[in-house]
Amino acid sequence: MLLTAKQTDLDPYTFVTRHAQIFAMFDAASQDSGNVSYGVQAGDDRLFIKTAGLPQDSQPLLSHAERVALLRNAIRLARSVSDPALPALRNVVESVEGPLLVYEWLDGELIGTSVERRSDPTSPFARFLALDLRERTAALDAIFRLHVNLANAGWVACDFYDGSLMYDFARRQMHVVDLDNYRDAPFTNEMGRMFGSSRFMAPEEYELGARIDERTTVFVMGRTVEQFLSSRDDGIATLVARACRADRRLRFQSVTQFYDAWTRL
C-alpha cells in the first residue's frame, strides 16, 4: 500500500503502522523541524517516509501548513531531476494531515555533526575528513554533479550544509537529502538572515532584498570544497577563492562553469 496508494483518510502514523513495520522514527527527539519521519519495512522494501508532523505541534518555527508546503516543494524537486545522489521518491500518499513522501531507504550517516563533536574521531564528520583524498573528491564530485543538474532545472541551493550530506562509508556513496528549502531561481531574499549554516552561506543570504540565484549556489559549493579539502593545494585554493567572492560578478557565473573548473583540478 505504501508504494501504490495515492490517498488515505487516515493520519500518517496510523496509515504507516497499518502497512509497515517501523524500525526508526525521527521526531522532536532527533530534530527540530516539526517533521516526523519513519524508517519502515514493508514486505521486501525498506523505505523512508517523511511527513509534516502533527498539525497541533506549535513548537517548531514553521507552522504545519508551512511544513506541508515545503514537502510539496520537495516533491516538485524530486520529480524535476533524476540523479544518483538524490534519494529516490517512490510514491506520494495524500492524507488528512498532508502528504507522505515515500522514499527508498538509504544506508549511511549524516556528515553534519555538532561543533562539539567535529573533532571526535568517531563522529561521521571526522571520519569523512579522515578518508583518503580520492574518496573525498569522488564524494564531492557527486554533490557538484547533482547541483549542475539542479541548476539546469532552475533550482538554487537554500539551507544546504553538511547536515544535508549522507555518506555510506561501506559502499562509498554520497547522497544529498532534505532539499525541501531549495527554491526556483532567481528570487529575492525576503528574510534577511536566511536558514542555513554560516559555514556555507553566501553574503546575499544575509541581506534583505538581495538577489538569490545560481551564483549563490556557486558560493555554497565553493564553501563545500573549503570544508572538506585542503586549501594548501594551490588549485583548490584558487577555485574556492573565485567561487566564494563577496562580489557575485567575480564568481563563476554558473554551477556548470564551477564544475568545469573543478574537473580540471
Based on the fold, state whether residues 137 and 233 are members of the same structural domain. Answer: yes
pLDDT band, residue 214 (cuts 50/70/90): very high
pLDDT averaged over every residue in the chain: 95
The residue range of the domain holding 142 is 109-263
Cβ atoms 176, 165 nearer than 8 A = yes
Domain boundary among 61, 82, 104: 104
Domain boundary among 52, 86, 104: 104
Based on the fold, state whether residues 160 and 197 are members of the same structural domain. Answer: yes
Calculate mean pLDDT across residues 177-203. 97
Q: If you write DSSP's letter for every residue of 225-241 in order, what string do you get?
A: HHHHS-TTSHHHHHHHH
**24 φ, ψ (degrees, to nearest 5):** -155, 145
pLDDT digits (tens, 9 = 90+) for 4-61: 999 999 999 999 999 999 999 998 767 778 899 999 999 999 999 999 998 988 778 8
Residue 254, domain CATH: 1.10.510.10
pLDDT band, residue 116 (cuts 50/70/90): confident
From residue 257, alpha-carbon distances to 87, 221, 252, 261 in Å are 25, 12, 6, 6
5 in a structural domain: no
Peptide bond into 87 cis (omega under 30): no
Based on the fold, state whether residues 75 and 157 are members of the same structural domain. Answer: no
How many folded domains does the chain comprise? 2
From residue 176, alpha-carbon distances to 78, 84, 91, 114, 179 in Å are 12, 10, 19, 18, 8
Which grid coordinates belong to 69?
Answer: 508546503
Question: What's the pLDDT at 32?
Answer: 74
4 in a structural domain: no
Residue 27, domain CATH: 3.30.200.20
Based on the fold, state whether residues 82 and 213 are members of the same structural domain. Answer: no
Most distant CA atoms of the chain, gap in Å = 59
Based on the fold, state whether residues 81 and 188 are members of the same structural domain. Answer: no
82 in a structural domain: yes
Higher pLDDT, 56 or 130: 130
158 in a structural domain: yes
87 in a structural domain: yes
pLDDT digits (tens, 9 = 90+) for 238-250: 999 999 999 999 9
Based on the fold, state whether residues 221 and 179 are members of the same structural domain. Answer: yes
pLDDT digits (tens, 9 = 90+) for 166-182: 999 999 999 999 999 99
166 in a structural domain: yes
Based on the fold, state whether residues 130 and 257 are members of the same structural domain. Answer: yes
Domain boundary among 41, 74, 104: 104
Question: What's the pLDDT at 59?
Answer: 79
Question: What's the pLDDT at 41?
Answer: 97
Based on the fold, state whether residues 157 and 216 are members of the same structural domain. Answer: yes
Question: What's the pLDDT at 29?
Answer: 65
Calculate mean pLDDT across residues 228-256. 94
Cβ atoms 90, 50 nearer than 8 A = no
Calculate mean pLDDT across residues 212-226. 98
Mapping DSSP to helix (H, G, I), strand (E, B) and coil, where does residue 176 land? Answer: strand
Based on the fold, state whether residues 144 and 67 are members of the same structural domain. Answer: no
Which grid coordinates belong to 207?
Answer: 541581506
Compute the distance between CA of residue 129 and CA of residue 227 in angstroms, rounded to an integer.
Answer: 9
> Which DSSP state fits 255?
H
Place of cell 564528520: 125
Write down the pTM of the prediction: 0.95
Question: What's the pLDDT at 34?
Answer: 87
